[in-house]
């Protein structure tokens, strides 16, 4: 498949997956019985086409770890990485430069063509302050080791639901994360360079987390993004709610779109 370093192509890429790969309840409904934990990434990456890594939000990893993830996953697979929280959980975002650089230079380029968007997640209490937020966006690097970076902004305060935020994101080549969570604003950016969706309302009593009808609606949205006059890449992650259902939901969406891992 085409490299993530070149987002504008005639055939946009669709990546569908889950958050992480280490989750005990998946060991009785997603992973085969008896599968060694050391083989879980190998298995998950062959059922899905992407994984959003949450561990990089809390901890700093070294280059050999990213290289290992690259080696254990098949061609065409992508990782979205959550940037370290020290970059985003601060009162003055304009002072985040050192933390941003520390994360970007931690070895993420070892993922090479499997490096997908970086997610910058902000606290639900973090309000939109245009000048400070623009100063933060200006600090985001456009590349690492020659590979173009794509940035997704996971803002969680209702003050971001404003045209001013969308305009800033567009100016700096960033894309707002769209979520269906009840507690966070659902920010849509129809003119963004790509779509980044985090689906957070899966239900335990539904085998696929979302009903097939609900997944069909998301599938229609994916088709709309990847077609028309300006086709764009789409990333969809089934994140939480009834997290044990996330893999089934992701695989059902892939099925409805006629995709294989």
For residue 6, is it within any domain?
A: no
For residue 73, being part of any structural domain is answered with yes
In a domain, 121, yes or no: yes
Residue 104 lies in a domain: yes
Beta bridge partners of 115: 79
Full 3-state SS string of the chain: CCCCCCCCCCCCCEEEEEECCCCHHHHHCCCCCCCCHHHHHHHHCCCCCEEEECHHHHCCCCHHHHHHHHHHCCCCCEEEEECCHHHHCCCCHHHCHHHHHHHHCCCHHHHHHHEEEEEEECCCCCCCCHHHHHHHHHHCCCEECCEECCEEEECCCHHHCCHHHHHHHHHCCEEECEECCCCCCCCCCCCCCEEEEEECCECCCCCCCCCHHHHHHHHHHHHHHCCCCCCCEEEEEECCECHHHHHHHHHHHHHHCCCCC
Number of domains in the chain: 1
What's the rounded Cα separation, in Å, for the pair 76 and 67? 15
The answer to whether the pTM exceeds 0.95 is no
Strands 151-154, 194-199: parallel, antiparallel or unpaired by DSSP?
unpaired
Asked if pLDDT for residue 186 goes beyond 70, the answer is: yes
**How much is the pLDDT for 191?**
86
The domain in which residue 135 lies consists of: 14-256
C-alpha span between 243 and 45 (Å, rounded) = 17
- Asked, for residue 143, whether it belongs to a domain, the answer is yes
CATH code for the domain of 114:
3.20.20.410
Mean pLDDT of the 9-15 span: 81
User: What band does 138 get if pLDDT is binned at 50, 70 and 90?
Assistant: very high
Look at residue 188 in the predicted model and tell me its pLDDT.
84
The β-bridge partners of 194 are 233
- The answer to the question of residue 1 being in a domain is no
- Note whether 129 and 152 are within 8 A (CB): no
Separation CA 171–CA 153 (nearest Å): 13
Question: Can you give the pLDDT at residue 260?
Answer: 84
Q: Which residues of 106-139 are buried (b: 16+ CB within 10 A; e: fewer)?
A: bbbbbbebbbbbbbbbbeeebebeeebbbbbbeb
Considering the domain boundaries, does residue 7 fall inside one?
no
Least trusted range by pLDDT, from 63-67, 129-133, 187-191 = 187-191
- Share of residues in the chain with pLDDT > 70 (%): 96
Residue 111 lies in a domain: yes
Least confident of 4-13, 145-154, 180-189, 228-237: 4-13
Give residue-wise pLDDT tens across range 201-235. 999 999 999 999 999 999 999 999 999 888 999 99
């Amino acid at each position: 498949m085409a490299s993530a370093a070149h987002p504008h192509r005639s055939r946009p890429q669709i990546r569908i997956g889950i958050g992480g790969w280490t989750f005990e309840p998946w060991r009785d409904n997603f992973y085969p019985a008896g599968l060694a934990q050391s083989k879980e990434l190998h298995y998950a990456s062959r059922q899905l086409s992407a994984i959003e890594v949450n561990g990089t939000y809390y901890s700093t990893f070294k280059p050999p770890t990213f290289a290992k993830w690259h080696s254990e996953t098949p061609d065409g697979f992508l990782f979205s990485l959550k940037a370290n929280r020290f970059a985003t959980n601060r009162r003055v975002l304009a002072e985040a430069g050192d933390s941003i650089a520390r994360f970007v230079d931690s070895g993420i380029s070892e993922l090479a063509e499997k490096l997908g968007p970086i997610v910058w997640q902000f606290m639900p209490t973090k309000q939109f302050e245009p000048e400070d937020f623009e100063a933060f966006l200006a600090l985001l690097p456009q590349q690492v080791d020659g590979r173009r970076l794509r940035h997704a902004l996971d803002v969680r305060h209702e003050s971001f639901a404003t045209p001013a935020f969308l305009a800033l994101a567009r100016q700096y080549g960033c894309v707002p994360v769209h979520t269906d969570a009840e507690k966070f604003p659902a920010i849509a950016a129809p003119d963004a360079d790509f779509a980044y969706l985090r689906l957070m309302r899966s239900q335990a009593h539904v085998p696929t987390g979302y009903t097939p009808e609900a997944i069909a609606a998301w599938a229609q949205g994916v088709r709309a993004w990847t077609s028309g006059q300006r086709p764009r890449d789409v990333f969809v992650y089934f994140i939480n709610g009834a997290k044990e259902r996330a893999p089934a939901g992701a695989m059902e969406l892939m099925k409805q779109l006629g995709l294989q891992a």
